[in-house]
Amino acid sequence: MMLPALSIVASPTKRLQILELASEAERRGFPALACPTLGNAFGLCTSLAHVTQRLRFYTAIQGIYGTSAAEIGSIASHIGEVSGGRFALGLGVSHEAMVKRLGVEMGPPLSDMRAFVDALRKQEKFGGPLPPIYLAALRDRMLALASEISEGALWANASYSNTVKQVHKVPQEKIVGGFHLANMIPTVISDDREAAAAVNRKTMSVYVRLPNYRNYWKAAGYVEEMEAIENAIASGNRDDHSSFMSDAWLSDCTLYGTADQVRDGLQRWYDIGVEPIAVMSSTSGGQIKAINELFDIYS
């Protein structure tokens, strides 16, 4: 059974502890670390280049708005060089509500992403060779763009049943050539499966409020759930949508339950050619406790 990749966040006041966890993950044989923008992904990745020797790591996912391609390209080139080629640059368009907070206007996602990657490539002669680029690609059109212009695709909170179909849309020559596929999966380990499910429902409450995610899950077959949430939001309920999150949907998009259930659930992603990224939460603690719970089930 293969070990999953692991999502880590450089939480303020806990950054040194997170770096220690990264070193421990490497010692235990975990293959990769995915670094969200929360807590500054580039700062974390720079540190990872120096405190680890073998682990792969990548931003998952760095937004393209609010920072120039020249700046991101230079930083990515630096991390790739000092890490000995272990770093990859995961990019995404983020979400409209989040982009607005940056004071930036979001354009058409596909054309903006194509233009941004093109600008990155043109800056290589000034900032240095780029690491592999992975694109966030929930929907088929962005996955097709990722297959065309990048070295990998990243999902987050993806439907397993839908991803099985999407993987077959990636050209076989890209897969043979090492095109990287990975998905970030909210994960809770507990013998109390109901309690673990409740934690994942709380995590997913952030995402069901975002129109792009609801549209994705509708396309994946969860129309009834997403329309119920949309009706609730329209009626003024913008917070508690847990009652509309069916067990079928939650089990398709997250992992929760006993050690065996979680290990088997992570392995099934590998079985379809997608690296699972465990985004850990716990029924009884924070990120550090949750990650140690993952360590324990692979001891």
Q: What is the value of pTM for the model shown?
A: 0.95
> Hey, where are the domains in the chain?
5-195+255-297
Give the pLDDT of residue 211: 93
Give the pLDDT of residue 99: 58
> What fold is seen in the domain 5-195+255-297?
TIM Barrel (3.20.20)
Helix H segments across the chain? 15-27, 41-51, 69-82, 96-101, 109-127, 140-149, 160-167, 172-176, 193-208, 211-219, 223-234, 247-253, 259-271, 287-297
- Judged against a pLDDT cut of 90, whether residue 129 lies above it is answered with yes
pLDDT tens string 199-210: 999 999 999 999
pLDDT tens string 95-111: 566 656 666 777 899 99
- Judged against a pLDDT cut of 70, whether residue 255 lies above it is answered with yes
Give the pLDDT of residue 66: 85
Weakest-pLDDT range from 5-14, 103-112, 176-185: 103-112
Q: Do 144 and 169 touch, CB atoms closer than 8 A?
A: yes
Confidence band for 32, pLDDT divided at 50, 70 and 90: very high
